[in-house]
Amino acid sequence: MCGIVGYIGFEQAGPFLLDGLQALEYRGYDSAGICLNDGSKLIVKKAKGKVFDLRTLTHDGHDTKGTVGIGHTRWATHGEPSDVNAHPHLSESGRFAVVHNGIIENYQQLKNYLTAKGVVFRSMTDTEVIAQLMEYYYKGDLIETVIRVLEKLDGSYALGVISQENPDEIIAVRKESPLIIGLGENENFLASDVTAILSKTRTIYRMENDEIAILGREGVKIINTDKEEIHKEIETIDWDVNAAQKGGYEHFMFKEIMEQPKAISDTIAPRIKNGRVVLDEVNLSAEELKQFNKINILACGSAYHVGVVAKYIFEKMLRIPVEADLASEFRYRDPIVNEKTLTIVISQSGETADTKEAMKEAQRRGSHVISIVNVVGSSIAVESDDVIYTWAGPEIAVATTKAYSTQLAVVYLLALYFGDMLGTVVPDEYKALVQELEDLPNKIETVLENKERIQYLASKLFNSKDVFFIGRNIDYALSLEGSLKLKEISYIHSEAYAAGELKHGTISLIEEGTPVIALATHEELIAKIVSNIEEVKTRGAQVMCIACDNHKELERVGETIFIPRVCDMLLPSLAVIPLQLFAYYVASLKGCDIDQPRNLAKSVTVE
C-alpha cells in the first residue's frame, strides 16, 4: 500500500515507470511491479524485493513494450511479501489491471461473493478483488464499471486502472489516499507522490475524494461518480526532489508526526463494524481467554513504553494482572510463564532480536502469543500464534512516532475486545469508548493545530542540559516515551519519573532553571500532580505542563499545553503529540540530524 506511478504518452512507458518507482523507494516497500498495454494485451512484470530486482527482470524496462502503463511499490498489508502478492493485479482473464494504495475493509466479503460465482483468485491481497470486480461487472462501458465497483468498496483507496478494452486510457480514483495527476505535452502522468513524476513535469492536479480521472495522451478529464465533469485548479510544484519525498516537510519525523491521524484511522477503522470491535486476527474464544490468569507484555524501546501504558489499561479494564517486561531482560530472570499466561509482543519491525528471543522463551513455556507488528511477513509476525498488524505504513525516521501511536491504538482495540468477551466492560461504557476511539483521529488533528505553541516553548528550553519528565499513573507511562524522544534526537539528558518518587532522591537534582515537563491529564490525580509541580517550582524548576482543556486553572503552575478531554484510556494518544513535537523542535533548533540520530538504527536485529 505504498507507491503508485502511471504513464500515457508516445514514449515507451517501462523505463519511466521504473524511474518513478525508484523515486518512491524512500517510502519503504517490499515488492514492486509494472503493467503495460502493448496494444493487444496487458503485460505484467513484478518481483518481491527492490526496484533493482524489477529492473534486472525487465532489463531496465526495455523488455516490456507499451506506451501506456502503471507501476507500484507495495508495503504488504494483506498477504506476505511475494511475487504473487505484488501489484499490479490482473483480473482472471487478464483484461483489467489495478494498482492500489489503501485498505479495502470489506475485501473478504467481496472475495467470498466472487469465489462463489466461480472467480479464481491468485493472491492473498485485498487489492485483487478490485480487478476481479472490474471484470465481473464490465458490460462494455469502462467508466460505468468503475463507478459500479466503487459502490461496492468500503475503505480507503487510490487506484490506477488500465484495460485491454480501452488501450488509450488510464483511470485514476481517489478516496482517503493521496493521488495526483501530472500534466505534460502529449503525455500525462499518475502518481501517489509528486517525487515520482518530477523528472517529467511540475504541473499537477491534486485529486479529491470520490473523483475519477480519465487520462489520455492529449488531456485529462476529471468527473465525479455522477459523471459530471469537474474543473480543477492547476498547481505548480516548486519543491526540490528531496522535499517532495518528504511531502514538503523538512524531515521525515515531522511528516510522520503529521501523518498520525490517518495512520491511526487506518489501524482503527477497519476493525470497528457496526459499533463493535472486530479482531478477526485473534483466534481466542471467550472460554480460552478466561483461562488466562496473567498477561505478559514483551517489547523494547518505545514499544516497551506502549506496553507500560497497556499495563495500566488492561489491568483496569480486564481485571487481570499484567507485567510489562523489557524483552532484553525477560529471558534472564527465569520468568513465571506457562499455558495460563497470555503474552503480547510489540515490535514495529517484527525483527527486533531481543523481542523475538523473548517471544520464543514465552512460547517454550507454553504461553499463547499475540504480536502487534507493523511489517507484514516479519519473523515475529510469522512465528506468533496471532498477529495484529498496525497498518501504520512505512516509518522512515529512526525515532518512532506513528508506529508508537498505532501500537497504542491496537492496545485500545484489544482492551475493548477482551473486555467485551470477559464481561468486564459494561455495555454503556463499551459503546461510549468505541465512539471516542472512532473520533480519536479528529482529536489528534486538533492537537497538531497547536504546534506553533509547542515550537515556542521548545525555543525557551532547547539549550537545557537536563530535562525531567514527571507524571502519575498512565501519565507516568507516557512520560517514559516523552523522555526517550527528547534524548534520542536532541542528545539532551532526560529522565522520566513517577511524580511521587521525586522526593525519594531525584528532587535533589532540581535547581534554578531546571526544565520539568509535567503530565497532568489523569483526572483522578490532578491534585497530587499539582502538589509535585509545586515541589519542583519551589526549588526553581521551569515547568511545562500538559493538561486537558477542562483544567485551565493549571496555567498558574507554568507554561501549559492543553489537549482535548477524552476518556482516560485514550489520553496517551493525545498527550504524546506535544511530547513528540517538543522533542522535534528542540532537536531542530539544536541543528541535530533528526531522521538519523547518532548510534541508532531503525530495526535492532542484534542483542
What percent helix, strand, coil does the chain show, rounded to 5?
Answer: 40, 25, 35
Position 393 pLDDT exceeds 90:
no
pLDDT (average), residues 415-441: 96
| Host H or E run for residue 277 | strand 276-277
Whole-prediction pTM value? 0.84
Single out the catalytic residue among 200, 356, 443, 602. 602
Report the residue count for the chain: 607
CA distance 70 to 282: 36
Whole-angstrom CA distances from 255 to 250, 443, 575 are 8, 18, 18
Q: Is 300 a catalytic residue?
A: no
Which is more confidently placed, 285 or 247? 285
Q: Give the pLDDT of residue 55.
A: 94
Tally of CB atoms within 10 A around 286: 11
φ/ψ of residue 355, rounded to 5: -70, -40
Residue 535 identity: E
Extended strands (E) in 50-164? 68-74, 89-90, 96-104, 155-163
Position 1 pLDDT exceeds 50:
no
pLDDT (average), residues 294-313: 97
CA distance 37 to 311: 54
* Residue 364 grid coordinates: 517454550
In Å, how far from its chain's centre is CA 42? 33
- Average pLDDT of the chain is 93
* Residue 246 grid coordinates: 518528504
* Residue 67 grid coordinates: 506506451
**Are the beta carbons of 256 and 245 closer than 8 angstroms?**
no
CA distance 363 to 383: 10
In percent, how much of the chain has pLDDT > 90? Answer: 77
88: preceding bond cis by omega (within 30 degrees): yes
* Residue 374 grid coordinates: 507493523
Which domains can be identified in the chain, with CATH numbers? 3-245 (3.60.20.10), 253-446 (3.40.50.10490), 450-590 (3.40.50.10490)
> Using 50, 70 and 90 to split pLDDT, how confident is the model at 606?
very low
Residue 387 identity: V
CA distance 103 to 497: 40
List, for residues 369-384, the tens digit of each pLDDT value.
999 999 888 889 989 9
List, for residues 463-495, the tens digit of each pLDDT value.
889 999 999 999 999 999 999 999 999 999 999
> Using 50, 70 and 90 to split pLDDT, how confident is the model at 607?
low
Q: Which of 440, 435, 466 is nearest to 540 (CA)?
A: 466
Whole-angstrom CA distances from 445 to 257, 366, 559 are 11, 43, 21
Position 239 pLDDT exceeds 80:
no
Q: Is 602 a catalytic residue?
A: yes
Which is more confidently placed, 128 or 538? 128
* Residue 595 grid coordinates: 531522521
Residues 6+ apart with CB under 8 A from 32: 21, 46, 47, 49, 50, 51, 53, 54, 71, 72, 73, 74, 86
* Residue 153 grid coordinates: 468498496
Q: Give the pLDDT of residue 602.
A: 62
**Are the beta carbons of 487 and 496 closer than 8 angstroms?**
no
Pairing of strands 42-48, 31-37: antiparallel
CA distance 503 to 78: 51
List, for residues 29-75, the tens digit of each pLDDT value.
889 999 999 988 999 999 999 999 999 999 999 988 999 999 999 98
Position 288 pLDDT exceeds 90:
yes
**Are the beta carbons of 521 and 537 closer than 8 angstroms?**
no
**Are the beta carbons of 450 and 547 closer than 8 angstroms?**
no
Q: Give the pLDDT of residue 75.
A: 84
Single out the catalytic residue among 2, 300, 548, 592. 2
**Are the beta carbons of 495 and 483 closer than 8 angstroms?**
yes
CA distance 272 to 427: 15
Q: Which of 316, 9, 1, 352 is nearest to 190 (CA)?
A: 9
* Residue 535 grid coordinates: 515541589
Helix or strand or coil: residue 346?
strand
List, for residues 100-118, the tens digit of each pLDDT value.
998 898 999 999 999 999 9
**Are the beta carbons of 373 and 335 closer than 8 angstroms?**
no
In Å, how far from its chain's centre is CA 194? 20
Extended strands (E) in 10-88? 31-37, 42-48, 68-74
- Give the neighbor-by-neighbor strand order of the sheet with 42-48: 42-48, 31-37, 68-74, 3-8, 188-191, 180-183, 203-206, 235-236
> Using 50, 70 and 90 to split pLDDT, how confident is the model at 508?
confident
List, for residues 435-450, the tens digit of each pLDDT value.
999 999 999 999 999 9
* Residue 234 grid coordinates: 492547476
Position 352 pLDDT exceeds 90:
no
